[in-house]
Each structure stands twice: as structure tokens, then as C-alpha cells.
Amino acid sequence: MDPIEEAGAALRAGDLARAERLFRAGGDDPRALHGMGIVALQRGDARGASRLLGQAVQRRPNDPALLSDFGTACLMAGEARAAVQGFSRLVQVAPRSAEAQFNLGCALGLAQRPAEAEAAYRRALALEPGRRDAANNLGGVLQAQGRVAEAVVIWQEALARQPDDPELLANMAHGLEMLNRLQEAEDACIRLLALVPDHAPILLLRARLARRRGDLAIARAGFDALLRGRLAPALEAEAHAELAQVLDKLGEARPAFRAVARANALRTTLLQGFDPARARRHAQAMAAWWRPGWTAGRQQADDPIDPAPVFFVGFPRSGTTLMEEMLAAHPALATTGERSPLEAVLAPLRQGLASGAYPASLEALDAGEVAALRRGFREETARILGPQGRAKRLVDKLPLNLIDLGAIELLLPEARVLVALRDPRDVCLSCFMQDFEPNDAMANFLDLGSTAAFYADVMGLWLRYRDGLALPVLDYRYEDLIGDVAGTVRRVLDFIGEPFDPAVLTYRDRMTSRYVATPSRDAVTQPINRKAIGRWHAYAEDLAPILPVLAPFVEAFGYEV
């Protein structure tokens, strides 16, 4: 028997040591490298497997089985780019393979290329209609793009074929909750718990649904029961944070604060790859560099954007989501739901932050470079808004774009800036108590002291900008919006340059079909009320260490000390 065939027989028999010895004797034979790669995979060495299989692919680039194993090893090793290359080659070799298209979708998802992953999953479903894993993952990438309603439809169609699939049911339940279709989400939870009674994420979701309905006793009992069991750290943190919201609504401020502190302590242990200090350095660098009038004398763009974009900024938890939902209901406006076109445009420049080159590098940009960045902004805007929004006035709402207003005044001098303000004490309390998607900035909110320090950096920068920015600016206070909704929105629309439309006051009519990407999606579905104003008073004892840091801003923004 050929030694490599003998090695393959040993591999199939589970004798890895003998298989490895025989494959190794095959040297650079691609069959031997392939076999060595499979041995490495079975031993849990995905990186070693991807290296060996990659060498084999170089020798046999059209072998479907080899390409599939190579891509799989890369996926298991977290090597997204190589996985995409391997599966892209495989779909060229085997274009009618639904499995190849599905795996390419997985690789593109790992590579953070959701639109391309969506296309690959759709091709897999076209080749193999009803394929459950492709439908499940397609829903996931749609949800990741904020297209939650479309994702729910995909999951519902898959469930029509496989009504007792726990993963599909769980995904659909969470999607329905995101769309504020609470009773449907509850029904999906009940269906899943009949199949898997101890499904902890769904037990948590069901308790959250009770909280959102106002059934606080049921919600509290649900979270308490979960926390008496053994939970994964991330789920335990979520349960503590949810319990804190219930306790807050029950008026039990001290226990609520302790619960959220526990949640944040757990989240801190899970935090990987994020640097809260980096976000602070961004604001500090801009404050150190920026000066009023720095763009004076610069050549103005000869291709003005019309209608002029609006940058809607502020510190997180300043009520921006409420105003955005009102503006999104206006027929002439298109809001971004925190998918800011500016992010992609500034990302290459911000890479110089670590070396100290940014933001000073803005001064070295010539007219051609500025024009290229403006084109990038237009293209990114078109990508985010799609055909329906391109003719409307853009409202780019990402609160911490406030930091980069010094760049915006150069790149987009026709822009207008809308700034949301709120009592700094309520803002910092809300940031500390809120569960955010992690990034450098949001990581600051896991600690009360860093929350206040970050607030001081960002809003201290705003106080510098306020009197010298070369852009039209309007700020408004959350408390004034709550006190006079119509009057405040009229003032904002007048500033933006659009007529008042009654639809802005009936924005809640759209909330069962519109996904709100921010943590405020719960609050904005409720009638406008004053519950969040002055909330900090109940927590004054716990907030005492940061009140001196916030005091200058309390005074500057006109709040009572």
C-alpha cells in the first residue's frame, strides 16, 4: 500500500501518531501536507493546520477538498483574511456548491464584511433552498447591519420548515424584542422554553420583556432566579445590569447601584482589545491642538454638498436618540442611527493619533486631499443611506463625533452642528448604569471615576469649540425638549433649514417596525415623561466622588448646583 494511503487509513482509524509518522515521511507531497494538516486540526492546532494546508494549496490550488479543509482551518484559527481567500478560491472551483458559498459567508462574517457575507449566504440559499444554517447566519448578518426586520422575516421563514429549532427561535425572539414587538417575542420565548426549559439567555430575555411591560415583580423574580444559578460571566453581567434597572424603577437606588457596579466589574474582566484611555487621549489631543479660526484662508470646496449635512453630537446618554427618532420621522431628513459616514473617512487620519500626528496632520492636507476626503464622505453616505435616503438631508448622529468637530470644519464647511446637552450628573449616572456595545470610548463607563473624567475631557473640549467653531451651531437641553417638545423641535428644524412636519411628533407610530441601534430603544418607545430628569438625586451618595469633577459643567450649562 502507498505510504500516504496507509497514513490515510491510520487517520480514519483514529491512530493519529501512526498517521502523523507516515504523512511526515511523505515530505512535500501535497497529499502528505494535507494529511498532516488534518492531524493538526484533530489535535486542536488550528494555526499549525492552516500553515500546513496552505503549503498544500500552493501545490494543488484546484483541489476542492483541500481548499475546504484549508478554509476551515483558517476559520478555526481566526485567520479571517486567509479563510476568505481559501473559500473564494473554492467557490471558483466549485461554483455550484452551496456548502462552499456558506463557508465563504462565514469567512466574510469573521472578516467584518457583512454585505459580502450576506451575498454569499443568499447564493447558498439559492443553490440549496431551505438550508437552515445559511438562513440562520443570513439573519445574523442582516441584524448586524441594523436590518432587524429583514432578519426576523428570514428566521420566520426558516422556522416554518423547522419549527422546533432552538437557535432559530432564540434569534427570532431577540430580533422581535429589538423591534419592540414584545408580545411576539414573549410567544417565541414560550415556544423555546417548552423545548429547552433551562435556556438561560431566553430566561433572561423573558425577564427583560417583563421589565419592559412594567411587570417589575415578575422581572425581579426572573433575574434573581437566574443569578442564583451558574451563569457565564457575560450573561451574569447582563443579569445584574437588568436587575439594576428593575431596582431603579422600584426606587431602590442603593441596591440598584450595587447591582450595576457588579455588572461593570464583570464586564471589565471580559474586556479585551479596548483601551478607554485611548478615547480620552483623542479628546485631549484635539483640545490641545485646536484653535479658533484655524481654517481661515483655506480654499473652500467648489462642490458644496446640498442639502448641507447636519452633525448631531453630544455626550452619550444626553437624549440624542429621542431627538433622532423625531427627526427620522421628518420626510425630508435621513438619520444614520449611529452609523456615521464620517467614521470611515477619518479612520486613516486617526491612525496618527498614537504617534501624535493627528489632529495636527489636518493642517498639512492640501486641496486635493480634502477633496478626496469629501468624495469619501459622499460615497459612505450613499452606502449607509441607500437609494431611499440619498435625496434627503443627512443627519449624521454619532454623539462622540463632537470630538472631531475641528476636522469637520475643514472637510465639510457647509455642515451644521446640533448639540444635545443634559444635566452632567444625570448623564454620567446613566452612562455608568447603561450596557453599551464595547469600544474604546464606552469602556470608560465601566468605572464611575473614568466616566466623569471622560465627560470632562469631551465636554471641556465642547466649551472650547462653542465660541470659536467655524460652523453654524445650535445646542439645546434635554430638559427643555421634555418640557416643550413641539417648541424645541421647531427650533431645531428651523436651524437645520427644514419646515416643521407633524410627523415628528408622532414618531412612536413607527417604532414597531424600526430598529433603534442605541441602548435607548426601550425608553423611546414610551410616552415622553420627566422620569429621567433629576434622577441623580436618588444616587447622590454614590455619585459624591465625581460631583466636584462635574461641578464646572453643571454651572456652564445652566443647571442648579
Q: What is the DSSP string of 418-446?
A: EEEE--HHHHHHHHHHS-PPP-TTGGGGG
Report, as ranges of residue numbers, the positions in the chain whose pLDDT lies below 70. 1, 388-390, 510-527
Check if the beta carbon of residue 79 is closer than 8 Å to that of residue 50: yes
Residue 214 CB-density burial (10 A; 0-12 exposed, 13-18 middle, 19+ buried) = exposed
Check if the beta carbon of residue 329 is closer than 8 Å to that of residue 259: no
Q: How far apart are CA 404 and CA 342, in angstroms?
A: 9
The reported pLDDT for the residue numbered 231 is 95
Three cell numbers, residue 530: 420627566
Q: How far apart are CA 538 and CA 522, in angstroms?
A: 22
Q: Which CATH architecture has domain 1-129?
A: Alpha Horseshoe (1.25)
In angstroms, the Cα distances linking 23 to 216, 266, 271 are: 63, 46, 42
Q: Has domain 276-556 been given CATH number 3.40.920.10?
A: no
The reported pLDDT for the residue numbered 184 is 97
The reported pLDDT for the residue numbered 390 is 66
The reported pLDDT for the residue numbered 304 is 85
Query: What single-letter amino acid sits at 38?
Result: I
Query: The pTM is what?
Result: 0.83
- CB-CB neighbours of 5 under 10 Å: 11
- List the alpha helices (DSSP H) in 353-484: 367-389, 405-411, 424-433, 448-466, 478-483
Nearest alpha-carbon partner for 361 in 297, 407, 296: 407
The reported pLDDT for the residue numbered 298 is 81
The reported pLDDT for the residue numbered 271 is 87
The reported pLDDT for the residue numbered 58 is 93
- Residues 305-349 have pLDDT tens digits of 888 999 999 999 999 999 999 999 999 999 988 889 999 899 999
Cis peptide before 307 (omega within 30 of 0): yes
The reported pLDDT for the residue numbered 526 is 62
Check if the beta carbon of residue 532 is closer than 8 Å to that of residue 430: yes
The reported pLDDT for the residue numbered 510 is 67
What residue spans define the domains of the chain?
A: 1-129, 276-556
The reported pLDDT for the residue numbered 1 is 57
User: Long-range pairs for 184-191 at CB < 8 Å and ≥24 separation?
Assistant: 185/209
Check if the beta carbon of residue 20 is closer than 8 Å to that of residue 36: yes
